[in-house]
Amino acid sequence: MRDTPKGRRRRFDPAGPVTGLFFLALASLFFAGGLAEENVLPVTTLLPVVLIGLGLVGTVRVLTRSRRRNLR
């Protein structure tokens, strides 16, 4: 755990939970597709969803980068 000055709380970084939720949702789609007789989402729909989701995750990580930086 990093040392923080007394009285100063670390700020919440939303990048981790957003990334985790995206990959859990993606894994659940693949899992449901494996259990179902037919495709849950066709490949023509799944590919843009994955690319847009990765773009959103990347954007959140870039926008919240200052929260993860430890300046001394």
| Mean pLDDT, rounded, of the chain | 78
pLDDT for the residue numbered 15: 77
Question: What mean pLDDT is predicted for residues 34-61?
Answer: 85
Q: Which two tokens stand for residue 8?
A: 């100063």
For the whole model, what pTM was predicted?
0.63
Of residues 13, 9, 12, the one with CA closest to residue 60 = 13
pLDDT for the residue numbered 6: 64
- SS3 for 9-62 is CCCCCCHHHHHHHHHHHHHHHHHHHHHCCCCCCCHHHHHHHHHHHHHHHHHHHH
